[in-house]
Amino acid sequence: MKNLKKQNHTKIALFAGATALMALTPPIHAQSTDDALINKLEQKGILTVDEAKEMRAESAAGQTNLVNSALMATKWKMADSIKNMQFYGDLRLRYEYRGVDNPTPGSTTTTGATGSTYARERFRYALRFGIRGDLFDDFSYGIRLETSTNPRSPWDTFGNNTTGGSVTPSDKAQSGINIGQAFLNWHPASWYEMTVGRMPMPLYTTPMVWDSDINPEGAFEKFKYTIGNVDLFADFGQFDYQNPTPASQFPSSDTFVLAWQAGANVRLNKDMFFKAAPVLYTYLGKGTAGGLNSTFVGQGLGGINVGVPGGADVLGHNEEGLNSLLVLEIPAEFDFKIWHTPVGTLQARLFGDFAYNLYGADRANSAYHANPAAFPGMSGPEGGQNKAYQIGFGVGSDGPVYGPTQGLVYGSTSKKNTWEARVYWQHIEQYALDVNLIDSDFFEGRGNLEGVYSAFAYSFTDAIIGTLRFGYANPIKNNLGTGGNNLDTPGINPIKKYELFQADVTWRF
């Protein structure tokens, strides 16, 4: 028996190249992985029928792990703590157009600004790749690398990565790979888990409040319990927002955003569910003086310091301040299947989000008193302007998982000949949200804008997705600026009309 096992493992080593490739595919249970490998070895004639039968029995009894044996034979070795490993990622190519009417007066020095318009066309690319999997003793892990240093965008631009004064084409000076995710997850029981590190967004939220590219840093705890057809959950996040400069004693001077969420997923039947999860955001700490620690005004710079990205951090024009923010968000969705359509069963979603800044009046008062001259035609602080909402509809092929930032439109899934379309209306008032977190594409990471977002995606193969997106927005209040900070349209405030078009090709691996 021992000699037969030794012979079998030797034969496995001869098939090591295929085994190594299989080890890099998405992880499945060890049993099914071993069965797949044994079947392939048997098909190639490396194993006889009897040898294959015996090895299946060993695998089922937990006496051997063929993948690990093959990895050892090919000198691919993993630490004893690693249970499994998945290599994954995506490469995205994009054409993008952004158009803005009525830029900041005097902004003719801003690249792309002509008369009363600002237009920017770019070909772009984004690469993300990483490993994730399970460790022994109820732990899991994830590490992901990505292009760009921008926390709200992994994109780099073709032909725009040149060093100062250089005319060398395709210069790489501003291209690089950065850490996008690095986290550990502990799940000792079915009802509890916690995550520490730089993690994928763990809250149930929407891009109206959190840009889908942001990976928060800190700690997160989830409690969950099922009663009948209702899944209850409670989430708690402690995210380190900024370590101030100059550095001082941790954590008293760090800025933190704390999240407190409770929700339920109600399965009405096998084809229909409703989900809602209110969350409260609170802020702690000081942040860097002159930036987060200054009063948010949001009115822009006028003709002062034209071209400064996002507006200067001076008190009178601050576009980043976190003062007077206590935000209640209520995201929700209703999912159901549509039967008997010409193209088969479809999955549909009614979804939305509502947010209210309980300190919005204080934020408006502080903005006005910080610089009354920045509020033309106003004799006092702008009341209200403390609400935001989103309402939309989505439909797509049955099977893929859909969500606020999940589905073919976001490139989180792909299967040949599947498709998805979604559209929503969004309204964000000037003092409603933290403008440093909201989506930087729709609508430009700014407050005081409302408009429509639409997207369509089609999966040409199991790995290739084509996606079209369009956004259009206008100001809510014409006597207010469009507060926020985004390098895609630097120094332009207020935005009077905004258009965005994106055409993507995504390869998922």
CB-based contact 492:104 (threshold 8 Å): yes
Distances (CA, A) of 369 to 225, 309, 316, 385: 48, 24, 9, 16
| Amino acid 150: pLDDT | 87
DSSP state of 342: T
| Amino acid 384: pLDDT | 81
**Residue whose C-alpha is closest to residue 190's, from 238, 225, 154:** 225
Scanning the structure block, which residue is given the tokens 């890099």?
24
409/497 Cα distance (integer angstroms): 25
Q: With H, G, I as helix, E, B as strand and everything else as coil, classify residue 174.
A: coil
Hey, where are the domains in the chain? 2-73, 99-124+203-508
DSSP state of 32: H
pLDDT digits (tens, 9 = 90+) for 297-346: 888 755 333 334 444 455 457 888 899 999 999 999 999 999 877 878 99
Could you tell me the pLDDT band of residue 251, with boundaries at 50, 70 and 90?
low
pLDDT, mean of residues 464-480? 94
Tell me the chain's radius of gyration from C-alpha atoms: 26
Quote the percentage of the chain above a pLDDT of 90: 55
Distances (CA, A) of 439 to 57, 151, 235, 445: 53, 11, 22, 5
Residue of higher predicted confidence among 111 and 367: 367
| Amino acid 309: pLDDT | 40
Residue of higher predicted confidence among 231 and 35: 231
| Amino acid 72: pLDDT | 54
Is residue 16's pLDDT more than 50? Answer: no
Residue of higher predicted confidence among 422 and 46: 422
CB-based contact 143:185 (threshold 8 Å): no
pLDDT digits (tens, 9 = 90+) for 474-494: 999 988 888 988 878 766 788
43/56 Cα distance (integer angstroms): 14
Mean model confidence pLDDT for the chain: 83
41/48 Cα distance (integer angstroms): 9
| Amino acid 285: pLDDT | 79
Q: Which two tokens stand for residue 13?
A: 């080593």
Is residue 113's pLDDT more than 50? Answer: no
pLDDT digits (tens, 9 = 90+) for 364-378: 999 988 888 778 777
The separation between CA 288 and the C-alpha centre of its own chain, rounded to angstroms, equals 25
Residue of higher predicted confidence among 291 and 275: 275
449/433 Cα distance (integer angstroms): 12
| Amino acid 8: pLDDT | 53
- Residue 279 CB partners (closer than 8 Å, separation 6+): 203, 204, 205, 235, 259, 260, 261, 328, 329, 330, 331
| Length of the chain as a residue count | 509
230/13 Cα distance (integer angstroms): 49
| Amino acid 103: pLDDT | 56
Could you tell me the pLDDT band of residue 22, with boundaries at 50, 70 and 90?
very low
CB-based contact 67:22 (threshold 8 Å): yes
| Amino acid 46: pLDDT | 67
Distances (CA, A) of 239 to 77, 198, 215, 219, 220: 35, 9, 10, 6, 8
Tell me whether residue 9 is exposed, middle or buried, using C-beta atoms within 10 angstroms of its C-beta: 0 to 12, 13 to 18, 19 or more: middle
Quote the percentage of the chain above a pLDDT of 70: 78
pLDDT, mean of residues 85-92? 96
Is residue 11's pLDDT more than 70? Answer: no
Could you tell me the pLDDT band of residue 100, with boundaries at 50, 70 and 90?
confident
Is residue 359's pLDDT more than 80? Answer: yes
Element (H, E) at 13: helix 2-14
Q: Which two tokens stand for residue 28?
A: 């499945």
pLDDT digits (tens, 9 = 90+) for 216-235: 999 999 999 999 999 999 99
